[in-house]
Amino acid sequence: MNGRPLGLRLQIISSLAILIILLSGLLGFAIVRISGTALLRERMASVRLVHLSAARSILSAISSGSGIDVVEKIASSWIKGGSIDGIWIFDGSGKVKKVFTEEGLKRILPKPFFPLTEIYSDINFEVKVLDGGSNKPANHIFTQYPAGRGIGCIIIGTDRRKIVAASQYLGILLLIYLLVHGLAILVFGYFSLTTLIVRPVENLKFQAVRLGEGKFDIEISGGGAKEVQELAHALVAASKRLKNQRDELTQKIEQLEKAQNELLKSRDAIIRAQKLASVGRLTAGVAHEIGNPLTAIIGFIDLVSDESIDADKKKEFLERMRKEAERMDRIIKDLLTYARADGKELKNVSLEEVIKEACQIMKPQKIFKGINVELNIEKDIPPVRVNKDRMVQVMVNLLLNAGEAMVGEGKIEIGLKKGEDGKTVTIIVEDSGPGIPENIIDDIFEPFVTTKPEGQGTGLGLAVCHGIIRSFGGTIRAENRTEGGARFIIELPVKFDN
C-alpha cells in the first residue's frame, strides 16, 4: 500500500540534509583524522623541545655548581608551566638522585634505558614504567638526556593525555564548525530552492488546477529558474490553445444544436405530413361509413313525417336515427382524435392499448370490411416508454398498407409478446397479401420507396415509421412470409419512468 507522497519542500530539505550529513561526516572524519594526527605530531615535537630546554637549563645549573635549591626551583618552574609533569635525575650508577613530579607521576619511576657511561646528545626515548598501575606506558612521554660529570642522566616526562585531549578538543571544534557550516548551507539551500523552484512550482500547480476546472485566465509569476519559467510559459500557451479549442468546440456545439433543432423540426414536419396523408386515406375510407347512415337518416325523416304511421313505429325510427347518428359521431371523433394527436412526451405506455386503438380507428374503413384482424397478445406485457400518439400512427400506417396490399380481402395477424431476454417487447404485424418485392425489400424503409403505382403514394410512410421507432430506441424490420404475405417486426426496449 503506497503512502501519501512527500511534498516538494520536504523532499528537498530531506535530500539536502542527507547530502550535507554525509559530506560533513566524511569530510569531518577525514579532517579530524588528518589534522589530529598532524597536531599530535606537532605537539609531540613541541613537547620534545620543551623537554630539551628544561634539561639544558637544569644541566646548566648542575654544571655551574648551583645548589640543589636552585635546581629544584628551576625544575619546579618548568613543572608549573604545564608542559612538564615530572623530572627525574639519576646518578652515574643509575640510581634516582632527585625527583620532581605532579600527582599523576608520583608512582611512576622511569628506568634509564641506555648505558650511562656512553654519551648521547639530544636522543629522545619513550621508556616503560616501573610499576603495573593504572598508568599505561602510552599515557606518558619520557625524554632522557645524558648529563655527565657524575650525573648519569635526566629524564623528563609529560602526561600524553593532555596532548591527546587538546587534539580531540580541536577535532570537536572542527566538527561543530562543519555542523554549523552545513546547517548554514542547508538553510541557504532551502530558501534558495524555495524561491527558485518550490514557490514557482506551487504556483504552476495552482494554475494547473484552475486550468483543469476550466478557468483559462492563467497568472504566472516571473520568478523561478529558467526551466520553471519555460514550463510556466508552456502552460500559458497550452491554456490559450485550450481556450481557443473550447471556444471553437462551443461554437460547433451551438451549430450542431441548431442543426439538430432544424432536423427535429423537419422530422416533425415530415411526420405531420405523413400523418395528414394517412388521415386523407382514412377519410376517403370512411366516406361510405358516413354516407350510408346519412342516407338512412334522411329516409327515416321522410317516414317520420308520414302521418299515417303510428307513434310506436315513429319512435322506433327515431331510435334507429339516433344510433346511426351516434355511429357517425364515433367515427368522426376517432378520426379527429387521430388527426389532432401530435404529442412528443414519452410515457410508460401499454402496447396492447395502442394496438386496440389503431384497430378501432381502422374498423370503419371500407377496405377493412373484408379483412379479418386477429390479435395474439400475451399476458403480463410490460409497458414501454414511447409517445402513444406516434406509436398509434405507426400501427395505423402498417394496417393501412396491409389492407391496401390485400385489396380489402384477407387476414391480418397482430402479435404482441415479450422478448426472450425479457428486456424488449415485440410487435409482429403479418398479412396474407402478395408480400414485398424482393428488389426493394432491403430499401423498404428508405424515403420515397413505395410499392404503390405512381401518384398513389408518397413513399414516406414506412420511412416515418422507421424514424419514430428509432427515436424510441427500438428497431423495425420487414420480411416476407414463406406462406405468402409480408411481416413487420417491431422491437422496443422495456423502460420505466422512475
Please name the amino acid found at residue 495.
Answer: K
Residues 6+ apart with CB under 8 A from 456: none
Q: Does one domain contain both 455 and 318?
A: yes
Cβ burial of 147 (10 Å; 0-12, 13-18, 19+) is buried
d(CA 162, CA 141): 11
Residues 6+ apart with CB under 8 A from 70: 61
Domains: count for the chain? 2
Please check whether residue 296 lies inside any domain of the structure: yes
Q: Does one domain contain both 152 and 284?
A: no
The per-residue pLDDT for 135 is: 44
Taking the CA atoms of residue 293, residue 296, residue 301 and residue 305 in that order, the dihedral angle to the nearest 10 degrees is: -170
d(CA 12, CA 10): 5
Please name the amino acid found at residue 232.
Answer: A
d(CA 129, CA 240): 89
384: nearest Cα among 231, 221, 494, 295: 494
CA terminus-to-terminus distance, the chain: 41
Q: Does one domain contain both 142 and 278?
A: no
- The edge-to-edge listing of strands for the beta sheet with 424-431 is 370-377, 409-418, 424-431, 486-493, 475-480
d(CA 409, CA 312): 41
Q: Does one domain contain both 295 and 443?
A: yes
The per-residue pLDDT for 420 is: 81
d(CA 343, CA 84): 120
Exposure of 326 in the CB half-sphere (CA atoms within 13 A) = 6
Residues 6+ apart with CB under 8 A from 8: 197, 198, 201, 202
- Total H helices, total E strands in the chain: 9, 11
Domain carrying residue 447: 268-493
Taking residue 403's Cβ as centre, other Cβ atoms within 10 Å add up to 26
The per-residue pLDDT for 490 is: 94
Supply the CATH number for residue 436's domain. Answer: 3.30.565.10
Please check whether residue 22 lies inside any domain of the structure: yes
CA angle centred on 219, ends 215 and 220, rounded to 5°? 135
Backbone φ and ψ for 431, nearest 5 degrees, come out as -130, 165
Helix (H, G, I), strand (E, B) or coil at 312: helix
Please check whether residue 250 lies inside any domain of the structure: no
Please check whether residue 80 lies inside any domain of the structure: yes
Q: Does one domain contain both 295 and 429?
A: yes
The per-residue pLDDT for 223 is: 64
Backbone φ and ψ for 268, nearest 5 degrees, come out as -65, -40
Please check whether residue 198 lies inside any domain of the structure: no
d(CA 256, CA 253): 5
In contact, 497 and 348? CB cutoff 8 Å: yes
Q: 239: part of which helix (H) or strand (E)?
A: helix 226-305
Q: Does one domain contain both 312 and 461?
A: yes
- Measuring CA to CA, how many Å separate 440 from each of 371, 404, 462? 26, 18, 13
CA angle centred on 320, ends 319 and 323, rounded to 5°? 90
In contact, 274 and 401? CB cutoff 8 Å: no
The per-residue pLDDT for 266 is: 76
Supply the CATH number for residue 136's domain. Answer: 3.30.450
The per-residue pLDDT for 416 is: 94
Q: Does one domain contain both 146 and 26?
A: yes
d(CA 431, CA 414): 9
Q: 322: part of which helix (H) or strand (E)?
A: helix 311-340
Which of 142, 166, 190 is where one domain is finished?
166
pLDDT, one tens digit for every residue, the chain (498 residues): 455 666 666 777 777 777 777 776 676 666 666 666 666 677 777 777 777 787 777 777 776 766 777 777 877 777 777 777 777 777 666 666 666 665 545 555 555 544 433 333 333 333 333 333 344 444 666 666 665 545 566 666 666 666 666 666 666 777 777 777 777 777 777 777 777 777 777 777 777 777 776 776 766 666 666 676 777 777 777 777 877 888 888 889 888 888 888 887 776 777 666 666 666 666 655 665 566 677 777 777 776 676 777 777 777 767 777 777 777 776 676 566 555 555 567 889 999 999 998 888 888 877 888 889 999 999 889 999 998 888 888 898 899 888 888 887 899 999 999 988 788 999 999 999 899 888 888 888 887 677 766 555 556 778 888 888 888 899 999 999 988 899 999 999 987 554
pTM over 0.85: no
Which of 137, 166, 195 is where one domain is finished?
166
Exposure of 144 in the CB half-sphere (CA atoms within 13 A) = 23
Please check whether residue 227 lies inside any domain of the structure: no
DSSP letters, 206-218, are: HHHHHHHTT----
The per-residue pLDDT for 131 is: 33
Please check whether residue 498 lies inside any domain of the structure: no
The per-residue pLDDT for 36 is: 62
Which of 166, 201, 232 is where one domain is finished?
166
Please name the amino acid found at residue 464.
Answer: V
Please check whether residue 212 lies inside any domain of the structure: no
- Measuring CA to CA, how many Å separate 491 from each of 70, 130, 446? 134, 119, 19
Cβ burial of 200 (10 Å; 0-12, 13-18, 19+) is buried
Q: Does one domain contain both 339 and 482?
A: yes
Give the cell for residue 16: 539536502
The per-residue pLDDT for 400 is: 86
In contact, 342 and 389? CB cutoff 8 Å: yes
d(CA 89, CA 85): 14
DSSP letters, 258-289, are: HHHHHHHHHHHHHHHHHHHHHHHHHHHHHHHH
